[in-house]
Every structure is written in C-alpha cells, then in structure tokens.
Structure 1
C-alpha cells in the first residue's frame, strides 16, 4: 500500500484509490504508486474488475504543476515517459475497469479516466485537457485516447481551447458513459464492476484485448486477432463451464459457474 495510492479489494472488485489531498495531483510518487497498484490489480486472481476512484470530492485535478515547473527538459522526458507508461498500464489491466469521477478530472486526471473501459460521473463534474493554457499539450495519452473516443474534431476543440466540459456535455460528447448524483458515483461504478466478480475472467480478458487491439489495426488484422482470441478460449475452463450451463439450462437461463 502506497502513501497516496492504494488497492482495496472487496468481493472480487479492486478499487485503485487516489488519496493525495486536496485534488489528488499526480507527481512522481503518485505515478510510481499508481503503476504498482495497476500491476497488482492485473495480477491478483481475487480481483475480477477494477474501479479508479479519487474520493468523494474530486477524481484528479491533473499533474502537479508546481513540481513540473521546476523540471528540466531531460527530467521531463523521463517523467513524461514514466507517466504515459503508467497510464498505459492502467489501460492494459486485463479486467473490466470503470472510473468513478467526482469533482474534477482535468489534464492527467482525465487521461487516467480515459484509460478505463467505462466512466461514471457525478452531475457536478467538470472534465478537460487544460494543458494548452500552461503552454504545453496533454502528455499521458490525451491527444490519442480522447480523439479515438470522441473523434478528432471534438477532441481538438477541447485540447486547443483548454476549456472545461460539464457533466452533461461530457455525456453528450461520449467522454463519460453515465451521469448520476454525486453521492451515487462510487456505488454506481461498484454495481457495474461487481457483475463481473464471478464472471468468465479469461473470456473477459480476451474480449477486452480483441476490442482494444483491434482499434489500432486495419479490419483484416483485427478480425485475425479476434479469431485467435476466440479459438484460444477452447483451451479454458471458461468455455467449458459456460457451454455446459447453456446445454443443461437452455438459452436465457444459463449461468456462468467459473472460479
């Protein structure tokens, strides 16, 4: 357990909790601890789904600008690479992930949320990529994941202007998937994540790998990847358990009984 980032596991769901008041700003230590938490969540068999959460007040206000402002070019190259690698590790967790967004998700905070498979936000949330107002650009995947998620034109508007989008606009743009009352953010994310606690872990990992991997290649390559990951499941208990339940119980009544 780190000083600012910890993994809390309960009922098959792992919560990666940012806890660096007042806004969970990302510095070198947070980056290192986040990488450790992502690796642990990926490897632990008792973690079947993951929630990214910054607490009731705010998800993440972005990188620690005060710390960054004193870095040299060489130092920033090292830190920037490490931060992007860490966010990529979160995105690569081979389990369903959901960001529970409260307060603000700005800069690196939004980039971290974009690394999740799904985003639930409070109706008072503001999101944005305000790096341009500091004379820089997003450096932890914002120019890439945001454009892939909502399209280049809409992503350019947010990145070029640095403006904040409120919850309803973020929902209409497709940045977040669900908007709820602020007090319901974590419980809503937990309800989504908990449905996978007893699910087919290997099949879910392969489904995520097929979708994510297919986004970066042409259709033919994506289909080849899908075929490989599809047929590979015949060597797993997931396939045996799922199909046995279907045969025994019939369509609409089958239940997955994997471990």
Structure 2
C-alpha cells in the first residue's frame, strides 16, 4: 500500500553499502550534468547539483527513509492504542484510481473513529497517518491529479507541510535533502546518462526520467516537468501527461511563459 498525497524517502537501497554506492553514482551524475552530457535542463541541473555533489546524497536519503519508516511504525502503534488497552481498527479510504503502476493500493489511512467521535473531535485532531508524516517532516506532500484532497483536507496538508519545512523538521533539517520523487528521478537519470555516455542503446526515452507536469496551487500556473523547482514543495500539484488536458480544463490552468513558448 502507498499513502496518498505524501512521499516518504526511499529505502530501496536496502543497505548502507548500496546507499554508499549511490553516493558515488550521484557524484558521477553531477559530473555528467556539469559537462552537459545528461539530458536535463541547465536550470534544473543547477538546482540539483548542490544536493548531488555532497558525496552523501544516497546515504542521506537512505537514513531519512529509515527514520520515516520508524516514525510511521511508532506513530501508528501509538495512535491505534486505546486507554483500555484495546486497539482501534484502521480506516482506509482509497483513491478514485485505487492502484498505482506497481499495483500498490493508494489510500488515506487513519484510526477508525466512532460516529460520535467524528462529530465531537475536530478533523485537525484526528489526522490521517499520511498527514502525521508531513507534520513531523518525515514526508513531503505529493498531490497528483486527479486524486486531490478536499478543500479542508488540502488546507491542513499544505499548512502542515509549510510549517514542517520552514521549521526545519525531519527531512527539512538540511537543504541537501532530495525529496523522494527527485531521488527516484535522479536514479533513472543516472541510468539513462550512463547508457548515453557509454553509447549503449536506450530502452526508454532520454527524458522519460521526468514526465509529470507541475501546477502551482496558489496561482494555477502550469509548469513543465523540469520547472517544478520554482514552486515551494507544499504548493506543487503533479499532473501526468495523459491527465493534462483534463486538468487544464477543469482547474483553469494557465501555462507558464516558458511552457507556452516550448522552451
């Protein structure tokens, strides 16, 4: 299962040794970017280079992923516990499209409150586990159209994310953090660039490492896949290419000048 609207650091490295190897791979990717060998825009490359060139980008991300996982387990156990020693059931609400490309269930997850509790306890005091991760700075927001939270829930999510980021909580304690969706994209970019440099045939498009467009929730301006970084993380609304026409129409999005000009 994957929690909707949030993105926790990856633990796919599985070991400190593999994380250290990713440190080296990301340093190599940084060198390729500086030499103009990687298929990435100059502006996005400049934004990501300080994070790649630390020499510990993979290790940092793996460490953050383990911390997020530990927090999630402890938080779920604590919030499901009742004073009488019994555990609450878990409430799951799935997305309109319930599965992602890896066949994982997409859902909001929370303790199951009684009808009376839902009437008496304000929503902000009975958050989902998804929101708890954001509040603690253990996850970034990752809202993907059309699975957008309702107005009240979205406001809670944005406010919590902004507070965690500006307060330097969790993953936001260091400017070197790669948000999980950046980390995954850079892993793909490394493999694509490695093949290009080695003159190996590509089995995917060289720009396939980034496909989602990004809209700024504050002003409804739509940006290209490599121009998201100018939007503060909590205000990013991600849109797959196949959903772009519908999103532009339904949300009344306006293309950024660079996107409209095809730059």
TM-score (structure 1 length as normaliser)? 0.25
**Higher RCO (CA < 8 A, seq sep 6+):** 2
TM-score (structure 2 length as normaliser)? 0.25
